Amino acid sequence: MRTWLAQHWSALALVAGRMVRAPLASLLTVIVGGAALSLPAGLYLLVQNAEMLAAAVPAKPQISLFLALDAKQDTANRIKAELGRYSGVKGFRFVPRDQALRELQQGASLDDMMKGLERNPLPDAFVVEPAGTDPDALERMRAAFARWPGVEHVQLDSAWARRLHALLALGRQAALILTVLLGFALAVIIGNTIRLQILTQREEIEVSKLIGASDPFIRRPFLYYGALHGLIGGLAAWAIVGISILLLNQNVVELSRLYASDFRLHGISLGDSMGLLAFSSALGWAGAFLAVGRYLRRIDPR
């Protein structure tokens, strides 16, 4: 066990020494990796903040239940009791037909036209506030209310919720596509750096194979080299996103104050930070593994 740990520590120290001896090349690789990873990480973080902002918006979708014109008070009482027991209902209010007529007259200034009516054409209604904003769940709730006896028509105001969910889904999909594309590009960049390292150490590798060094022994320093570059690139991306959030928050806070809000952009959480660093390290390791495996097969000791 000690021998195994000593070999890995020796390989890690060798890689750190190589990076110190070539600071410019290492810095360029880290900057490119950090810039590539910061784009999907930043977009993912913006989508998360948009979801939090949407959850804090006071406007909620509403479902309006219009009763039949000949509905009795018993029907309204029964529907009121059923709404009180319904698990997806956060709150509701009853709007009598007379109150609805008065509100219509006040809001639309239709006093003269309404006076010509022989009777009130508006039905009693319930305005329901759902507990969630998922469009599919709202549609299922609307369909369930429409089947209740005494309910003539159910109107769902969920167009804005569908647009919001579609935009957030688009943002998540764009972040995933960017992650895949730029992650692949980062793996290729690190793999190309490893290839150059292998070519410059070709004679050293041939001598190592002649004296009996195994492929895993030769491969180990290069794998550490790729993983370490990926890890530092992930740290660079984390720093870029964090600084960007700090700069953007100066304007976001001022804008939110104009709307009487205290909203501000949130930075990367601890869990997401660990995931970013693990992902970047894995990309560097994968790029190094593929490059080393390809070129080691071409190097045969003479």
Greatest extent of the chain over all pairs of C-alpha atoms, in Å: 108
> Helix 215-258 vs helix 202-210: angle between axes, to the nearest 10 degrees?
140
Higher model confidence: residue 238 or residue 216? 238
Boundaries of every domain in the chain: 2-56+163-296, 62-157
Percentage helix, strand, coil for the chain under 3-state DSSP, each rounded to 5: 70, 10, 20
- Does this model's pTM top 0.95? My answer is no
- In the predicted structure, residue 299 carries a pLDDT above the cut 70: no
> What phi and psi, each to the nearest 5 degrees, are found at residue 135?
-60, -40
CATH of span 62-157: 3.30.70.3040
Q: Which two tokens stand for residue 257?
A: 């104050």
Q: If you average pLDDT over residues 185-214, what whole number do you get?
A: 76
Question: Which tens digit of pLDDT belongs to each residue from 135-161?
Answer: 778 888 888 888 888 888 888 876 666
Question: Which tens digit of pLDDT belongs to each residue from 182-192?
Answer: 888 888 888 88
Secondary structure element (H or E) that encloses residue 12, with its range: helix 2-21
